[in-house]
Amino acid sequence: MKALTENISLRPYNSFGIDAKARWFGSFSDVEQLASLLPSDSGHRTFILGGGSNILLTRDFDGIVFKNEIKGITEVHEDEEHVYIKVGAGENWHEFVLHCLHRNWAGVENLALIPGNVGASPMQNIGAYGVELAEVFWNLEAFHIKDKKAVTFTLSDCDFGYRDSVFKNKYRDQFAILNVTFRLRKKPIYHTSYGAIQQELEKMEVRELSIHAIAKAVISIRSSKLPDPKVVGNAGSFFKNPEVTQSKFELLKAQFPDIVAYSLVNGNYKIAAGWMIEHTGPRAERRGQPSLSWKGFREGDAGVHPKQALVLVNYGNATGKSIYDLSERIMKSVEEKFDVILEREVNVI
C-alpha cells in the first residue's frame, strides 16, 4: 500500500461537502494503475469514487477509497443511424454532453447539467426530463476488484431500472467501471413533453427545435431550481419518485386532489416525491400549531432546499449523519400522511 495516502479528508471529493475521512486513498487513470494499487489480500474494504455527486458519507471509511480518473472520448464505430462513443469513467458527465452537442450527436441533450462523472451514470441509470441513460447505453467495461479482471456488460447485463442497476444491488462495491460506450443518434428524436421543457422553449422563443435548444432549456430549468454544489453542498434529488398502483393513486387523488403524478405505460402512477415532501413538515412544537413544510426547513447546517423539496443540503458543516437523520424524518412524515414509502436515490456510505 505504498502508493496510497493515509487519513485523507473526502470533503473535496463529495458534492455534499461532508468532512469524512478515508483510512487510505489513491487515484488511478488506467486499469493497470488500479490493479497495482489493490492490496494482495482481500481483507480491506474498498470504495470506488467518481465525481462524488450521488453519495452521502455518514461516517469515516475504514478502508481504501480509489478515485477514478480514467479519461478519454473516442468514436469507435458508426452505422447509418448511429455513432458509438467510448468514454472514460472519469470524464465529467456535463462536459461529455457538451462534447456531443458540439458534434451534433443526439440522445443526451435532456441529461445536460446532471452532476457527476460518466462512470456513475450506468450505476444510477441517470435520467431527467423524459430520458434515461439506458436509452443511449451500448455497453461498458468494468474491473472486478476481487478477481482483478475486466468484464464487459451489455444493456441486458446491467438490469437497468428506475435510478437503478445491477451495480447498486447484486454487484454493489464489486466492480470499478472503466469506460462506457454510448449509441447516439445522427438524426435526433426530440423529447419535450416532460416537465417544463416546452414552456421553457416557448419562453426562449425557439422557432426551430434542435438538441442545442433542448439542452439550453434543460440547463435553464435545472439552474433555476437546483443549487450549485460548489455554493451549497447537495447531491441533487435525494429521493426517488415512488410508483403506486392505479387504485392507490385514485385513493390519494380523492384525498389530495392537487397531488402531482404521472401515468406510466404499465398502468401505474409515479407520484412526485417533491410535492409530498412539500406538503408535509416537522411537527409543531406546540399543540394546535400547523405543521410547517419541509421545503426550506433548516436545522443547524442540514436542511431542505427552499426552491426544491427533493434536494437536501449542507449549508456548511453538517455531518452526513445529520442529513441522513433529516431524510429519515422526512420519509416517516410522508409515510404517515400519504401511506407512501419514499426511497433514497442517493447512495448512503
Is 40 known to be catalytic? no
The pLDDT > 70 percentage for the chain reads: 96
pLDDT digits (tens, 9 = 90+) for 6-57: 999 999 999 999 999 999 999 999 999 999 888 776 668 889 998 898 899 9
User: Please, what is the angle between helix 211-225 and helix 93-102, to 10°?
Assistant: 150
Nearest to 161 by CA among 6, 347, 345, 284: 345
Of the candidates 163, 200, 278, 322, the residue annotated as catalytic is: 163
Question: Could you give the 3-state DSSP secondary structure of residue 229?
Answer: coil
The DSSP bridge partners found for residue 127 are 132
218 alpha carbon, distance to own chain's centre = 16
Average pLDDT of the segment spanning 189-203: 86
Strand, helix or coil for residue 202: helix
Distance CA 126, CA 268 (A): 21
**For residue 224, pLDDT beyond 90:** no
User: So what's the pLDDT on residue 339?
Assistant: 95
pLDDT at 72 over 70: yes
Residue-wise burial string across 15-42, b where 16 or more C-beta atoms lie within 10 A, e elsewhere: bbbbbbbbbbbbbbeebeebeebbeeee
Least reliable range by pLDDT among 34-43, 146-155, 308-317: 34-43
Using CA of residue 28, residue 33, residue 34, residue 37, what is the dihedral sign? negative
Higher-pLDDT residue of 280 and 193 is 280
Catalytic residue check, 344: no
Greatest mean pLDDT among 108-112, 127-131, 345-349: 108-112
- Of 269, 274, 195, 263, the C-alpha closest to 239 is 274
DSSP string, 291-313: PPPSTT-EETTEEE-SS-TT-EE
11 phi/psi in degrees, rounded to 5: -55, -45
87-124 per-position pLDDT tens digit: 999 999 999 999 999 999 999 999 999 999 999 999 98
β-pairing verdict for 175-185 and 137-144: antiparallel
CA angle (130, 97, 162) in 5-degree steps: 35
How sure is the predictor about 287, in pLDDT bands with cuts at 50, 70 and 90? very low
The catalytic position among 15, 27, 237, 327 is: 237
What local confidence, expressed as pLDDT, does residue 285 receive? 38
Does residue 345 carry a catalytic annotation?
yes
Catalytic one among 200, 243, 278, 345? Answer: 345
User: In this predicted structure, what is the pLDDT of residue 193?
Assistant: 82
Q: What is the pTM of this model?
A: 0.86
Instruction: Quote the pLDDT of residue 118.
Output: 97
Residue 94 has a pLDDT of: 96
Taken in order of first residue, the domains within the chain and their CATH numbers are: 5-68 (3.30.43.10), 73-225 (3.30.465.10), 233-348 (3.90.78.10)
